[in-house]
Amino acid sequence: MFSPQRRPLHFVGSSPKDLRSLPEEVQDVFGSALLDAQYGDHPESARPFGERLPSKIMKPVEDHDRDTYRAAYIAALPGAVYVLHVFKKKSMKGIATPKPDKDLIRTRLVAAEAHHRNTYEGH
């Protein structure tokens, strides 16, 4: 019986600390989504982030206790999954992600791609 290999999960910047600071229920939802991504599956709660970010960045969203939480990760790089950002949405204008969060995601994507090149493509 075929069992897909679990890809390593890498956290960029403060994302592991940020994930641990979320409500436990939200941590469980995001943890499950990331585990699915590690096995090459598409998590139910995830969709492309959008908002002019590269389409390879995925976004699970979870509402909890009248707050909205988001994670940004990339599973499109061969052999690994990178968590770029985990945060509570603070925008008061509709559903848009605040610019500082999007800028942080872009910066961390560059760092994740550099790590991937050095770690996985150097072999």
- For 84-104, the pLDDT digits (tens) are 999 998 756 677 888 999 999
Identify the pLDDT of residue 93. Answer: 64
- For 15-72, the pLDDT digits (tens) are 999 999 999 999 999 999 999 999 999 998 899 999 999 999 999 999 999 899 999 9
- What the chain holds in terms of domains, given with CATH numbers, is 9-120 (3.30.2310)
- For 48-58, the pLDDT digits (tens) are 999 999 999 99
The C-alpha angle with vertex 81 and arms to 55 and 73, in degrees rounded to 5, equals: 45
Identify the pLDDT of residue 123. Answer: 56
Q: Does residue 87 sit in helix, strand or coil?
A: strand
Report the DSSP beta bridge partners of residue 48: 58
41: DSSP letter:
-
Mean per-residue pLDDT of the chain: 92
Residue 1 has pLDDT above 60, yes or no: no
